[in-house]
A and B are shown apart, each in its own frame.
Chain A
Amino acid sequence: MAIFSAAGVNIHSIAAAVPQQIVSNYNFDLISPDERAFLIKTTGIKERHVAPDGITTADLCFISASSLLASYNIDKADIGLLIFVSQTNDYFLPATAAILQHRLGLEKNVMAFDVGLGCSGYVYGLTIAASLMQTLGISKALLLAGDISTTSCSPSDKSTYPLFGDAGTATLLQLPHTPTQWHGNMMTDGSGAEAIIVKDGMLRHKLSEASFKVTDSGNGVHRTPVSLALKGEEIFAFSIREVPASVETLMQQTRQSVNNIDYFVMHQANRLMNETIRKKLKVAPEKVPYSLDEFGNTSSASIPLTMVTRLSEQLGHSQKLLLSGFGVGLSWGNLLIDSGPINCLPLIEV
């Protein structure tokens, strides 16, 4: 996709919810204490919030959204669009967005649908929402993004289990009186589909007895075909190759410079990967916030979760933000936004 420049919308406010239960990587005894210390140092992930059975992504997004609506006295009748970005839906069908429309007490004249993306999902979600709002004249929209990724991570897989956390977020968008330009680019490479995949459970590989059989892939990796499988080297190579290149293209073609960005908010994958991207783009460390130490990789929630927990005060003023999501798909995208003040609610623990 070529670089796009389009009328953006106002990000009015953001809320994020995480489960109360914290799982520390310091207690991950599948590996030796030395390897554990090295894992934490390299990935930057000290602990993660993990949802107990019974809490779904939709629950976390519902709490975030209802808190936003109540805190800012938003008239529910004004919401014309609800997008649920997730890969952990409530049901095979119907769309979780429809269930959330009802749970939130929104009017029936709401366009509501799911977007099945992970790491790139927030950037895609913002772009889709802004395009629809501008095209159809929708005054307010809710973008709900999150995942309970830990449900598919095998506790006996050292390549995935210590990396992922759970979170659900809500972002309230509104049509501005004077729109600013958003610049962005969205990319896809399905040849890397198997680099991050849960193989069994849908139509290509329906659930069977074999779906729950644990196999030993060697090197501390034991998982079933319904567990998340991650090819670390492929994902790493993809991310450090494609993300800096796509950001540079965006910057060059829109005649912008990373020096003029106030904050570069990246998907929180792992610290080594993100730092390599940052160094390649020569962005100053103080412009790149991290929340993965406390929350791990929270999929499509990681960018808004980082904004809420690390930039809440700074976002109270206008900022030039570069948002970048990358991962499962393979799918990646960047969005350059001149934001007005964004209200961030304190983190909600459920």
Chain B
Amino acid sequence: MNSNLTLDSLIAKIREEIDEIDLSGLAPDTEIRKIEGWTSLHGLIIMALVSTEYGFELSASQIQATHTVEDLYRTIKEKMA
């Protein structure tokens, strides 16, 4: 489990996991569902990443309420606190 969570490390992890769409411009305030090529399967990849990397499971409503990387960061941070 990764306990060194920062916004930059989270963005790097997402880029590592999702390599078939262009995430070079991914920033804390990027609306992830508006990224070209983003599908619901990418949401599942984020859920898998949080589970294996940060040791807890996002619920369906949590992932649906996640609009930006910063939202995701805050959710993970709260859970890890």
Which residues of chain A have a CB within 8 Å of any CB of chain B? Answer: 34-35, 37-39, 41-43, 159, 219, 231-234, 236-237, 240-241, 272-273, 275-276, 279-280
Q: How far is the CA of A347 from the CA of B64 in the complex (A)?
A: 41
Q: Which residues of B contact A273 (CB under 8 A)?
A: 44, 48
Q: How many residues of B contact A (CB 8 A)?
A: 18
Q: Name the residue of chain B whose CB is nearest to the CB of A270.
A: B44
From residue B15, how far is it (CB to closest CB) to chain A in Å?
A: 16
- Residues A34 and B59 in contact in the complex (CB < 8 Å), given A233-B64, A236-B44, A240-B51: no
Which of the residues B20, B59, B60 comes within 8 Å of A37, measured between beta carbons?
A: B20
From residue B14, how far is it (CB to closest CB) to chain A in Å?
A: 15
Which of the residues A219, A234, A280 comes within 8 Å of B51, measured between beta carbons?
A: A280
A272 to B48, Cβ gap below 8 A?
A: yes
B40 to A42, Cβ gap below 8 A?
A: no
From residue A285, how far is it (CB to closest CB) to chain B in Å?
A: 14
A272 to B20, Cβ gap below 8 A?
A: no
Which of the residues B20, B37, B41, B59 comes within 8 Å of A237, measured between beta carbons?
A: B59
From residue A28, how far is it (CB to closest CB) to chain B in Å?
A: 14
Q: Which residues of A contact B37 (CB under 8 A)?
A: 34-35
B40 to A276, Cβ gap below 8 A?
A: no
A237 to B52, Cβ gap below 8 A?
A: no
- Residues A276 and B51 in contact in the complex (CB < 8 Å), given A34-B20, A231-B60, A233-B63: yes
A279 to B52, Cβ gap below 8 A?
A: yes
A38 to B48, Cβ gap below 8 A?
A: no
Say whether B11 faces chain A, with CB atoms less than 8 Å apart.
no
Q: Which residues of B contact A241 (CB under 8 A)?
A: 51, 57
- Residues A280 and B60 in contact in the complex (CB < 8 Å), given A34-B37, A35-B39, A233-B43: no
B59 to A276, Cβ gap below 8 A?
A: no
Q: Which residues of B contact A237 (CB under 8 A)?
A: 47, 57-60, 63
Say whether B45 faces chain A, with CB atoms less than 8 Å apart.
yes
B52 to A276, Cβ gap below 8 A?
A: yes
Which of the residues B44, B57, B59, B60 comes within 8 Å of A272, measured between beta carbons?
A: B44
Q: Which residues of B contact A232 (CB under 8 A)?
A: 40, 44
Q: Name the residue of chain A whose CB is nearest to the CB of B48.
A: A276
Q: How far is the CA of A34 from the CA of B60 in the complex (A)?
A: 26
From residue B76, how far is it (CB to closest CB) to chain A in Å?
A: 15
